[in-house]
Amino acid sequence: NAGVMQNPRHLVRRRGQEARLRCSPMKGHSHVYWYRQLPEEGLKFMVYLQKENIIDESGMPKERFSAEFPKEGPSILRIQQVVRGDSAAYFCASSPKRTGGGGNQPQHFGDGTRLSIL
Protein backbone atom coordinates (compact mmCIF):
# COMPACT_ATOMS: atom_id res chain seq x y z
CA ASN A 1 0.00 0.00 0.00
CA ALA A 2 2.23 2.75 -1.25
CA GLY A 3 1.30 6.18 -0.05
CA VAL A 4 1.42 9.39 -2.03
CA MET A 5 4.81 9.50 -3.75
CA GLN A 6 6.51 12.77 -4.52
CA ASN A 7 9.82 13.34 -6.24
CA PRO A 8 12.30 14.68 -6.03
CA ARG A 9 12.49 15.12 -2.26
CA HIS A 10 14.81 18.07 -2.67
CA LEU A 11 15.28 20.26 -5.72
CA VAL A 12 17.75 23.08 -6.16
CA ARG A 13 17.38 25.52 -9.02
CA ARG A 14 18.97 28.80 -10.02
CA ARG A 15 16.87 31.86 -10.66
CA GLY A 16 15.32 31.73 -14.11
CA GLN A 17 15.37 27.94 -14.43
CA GLU A 18 12.36 25.65 -14.50
CA ALA A 19 11.25 23.37 -11.68
CA ARG A 20 9.14 20.24 -12.27
CA LEU A 21 7.65 18.49 -9.26
CA ARG A 22 6.00 15.10 -9.57
CA CYS A 23 3.26 13.42 -7.58
CA SER A 24 1.87 9.90 -7.87
CA PRO A 25 -1.34 9.55 -5.86
CA MET A 26 -2.17 6.62 -3.67
CA LYS A 27 -3.48 3.56 -5.48
CA GLY A 28 -7.15 3.98 -6.19
CA HIS A 29 -7.07 7.75 -5.77
CA SER A 30 -8.06 9.90 -8.70
CA HIS A 31 -8.04 13.34 -7.08
CA VAL A 32 -4.86 15.29 -6.55
CA TYR A 33 -4.26 18.51 -4.63
CA TRP A 34 -1.11 20.64 -4.47
CA TYR A 35 -0.23 22.81 -1.48
CA ARG A 36 2.68 25.12 -0.75
CA GLN A 37 4.17 25.60 2.70
CA LEU A 38 6.37 28.62 3.37
CA PRO A 39 8.53 28.82 6.51
CA GLU A 40 6.45 29.62 9.59
CA GLU A 41 3.27 29.48 7.50
CA GLY A 42 0.51 26.94 7.15
CA LEU A 43 -0.12 24.93 4.03
CA LYS A 44 -1.78 26.98 1.29
CA PHE A 45 -3.92 25.39 -1.37
CA MET A 46 -2.73 25.81 -4.94
CA VAL A 47 -4.63 23.53 -7.31
CA TYR A 48 -7.00 20.57 -7.43
CA LEU A 49 -6.95 18.16 -10.35
CA GLN A 50 -8.61 15.02 -11.55
CA LYS A 51 -7.32 12.94 -14.42
CA GLU A 52 -6.91 15.26 -17.44
CA ASN A 53 -8.87 18.05 -15.74
CA ILE A 54 -8.05 21.04 -13.61
CA ILE A 55 -10.97 21.42 -11.23
CA ASP A 56 -9.84 24.41 -9.21
CA GLU A 57 -6.71 26.48 -9.63
CA SER A 58 -7.80 29.41 -7.50
CA GLY A 59 -4.66 29.18 -5.35
CA MET A 60 -2.17 29.14 -8.21
CA PRO A 61 -0.19 32.26 -9.05
CA LYS A 62 -1.40 33.54 -12.42
CA GLU A 63 2.01 33.49 -14.03
CA ARG A 64 4.82 30.95 -14.24
CA PHE A 65 2.91 28.16 -12.45
CA SER A 66 1.03 25.35 -14.14
CA ALA A 67 -0.19 21.89 -13.21
CA GLU A 68 -1.37 18.82 -15.03
CA PHE A 69 -2.57 15.33 -14.24
CA PRO A 70 -2.42 13.32 -17.45
CA LYS A 71 -4.32 10.14 -18.16
CA GLU A 72 -1.13 8.17 -17.69
CA GLY A 73 1.62 9.10 -15.27
CA PRO A 74 2.04 11.38 -12.30
CA SER A 75 0.69 14.82 -11.69
CA ILE A 76 3.22 17.54 -12.48
CA LEU A 77 3.54 20.97 -10.90
CA ARG A 78 5.67 23.15 -13.13
CA ILE A 79 7.25 26.44 -12.17
CA GLN A 80 8.89 28.42 -14.95
CA GLN A 81 11.57 31.09 -14.49
CA VAL A 82 11.83 30.45 -10.77
CA VAL A 83 12.53 33.29 -8.35
CA ARG A 84 13.82 33.20 -4.77
CA GLY A 85 10.28 33.62 -3.42
CA ASP A 86 9.36 30.23 -4.89
CA SER A 87 11.54 28.53 -2.28
CA ALA A 88 9.16 26.44 -0.19
CA ALA A 89 7.97 22.92 0.52
CA TYR A 90 5.42 21.73 -2.03
CA PHE A 91 3.07 19.01 -0.85
CA CYS A 92 0.78 16.84 -2.88
CA ALA A 93 -2.27 15.12 -1.45
CA SER A 94 -4.70 12.64 -2.94
CA SER A 95 -8.14 11.31 -2.16
CA PRO A 96 -10.34 8.62 -3.69
CA LYS A 97 -13.10 11.08 -4.44
CA ARG A 98 -13.79 14.71 -4.03
CA THR A 99 -13.29 15.41 -0.35
CA GLY A 100 -16.70 15.89 1.17
CA GLY A 101 -18.63 14.81 -1.89
CA GLY A 102 -21.01 11.89 -1.36
CA GLY A 103 -19.00 10.42 1.47
CA ASN A 104 -16.16 12.33 3.08
CA GLN A 105 -12.72 11.00 2.41
CA PRO A 106 -9.67 12.69 3.93
CA GLN A 107 -6.77 13.82 1.84
CA HIS A 108 -3.53 11.90 2.33
CA PHE A 109 -0.24 13.72 1.87
CA GLY A 110 3.11 12.91 0.36
CA ASP A 111 6.46 13.77 1.96
CA GLY A 112 6.76 16.92 -0.10
CA THR A 113 9.39 18.42 -2.36
CA ARG A 114 11.63 21.06 -0.85
CA LEU A 115 12.49 23.56 -3.52
CA SER A 116 15.45 25.84 -2.98
CA ILE A 117 16.24 28.68 -5.36
CA LEU A 118 19.81 29.94 -5.45
Partner 1 sequence: EDKVVQSPLSLVVHEGDTVTLNCSYEVTNFRSLLWYKQEKKAPTFLFMLTSSGIEKKSGRLSSILDKKELFSILNITATQTGDSAIYLCAVEDYGGSQGNLIFGKGTKLSVKP
Query: Where does this chain bind partner 1 (CB under 8 A)?
Result: 3-4, 31, 33, 35, 40-45, 48, 55-56, 58-59, 91, 95, 98-101, 104, 106-112
Based on CB atoms, which residue is closest to partner 1, 79 or 94? 94
The three-class DSSP label of residue 45 is: strand
Judged by CB, which is closer to partner 1: 3, or 74? 3
Rounded alpha-carbon distances, angstroms, from residue 103 to 2, 32, 106, 114: 23, 17, 10, 33
Total residue length of the chain: 118
24 or 82: whose CB is closer to partner 1? 24
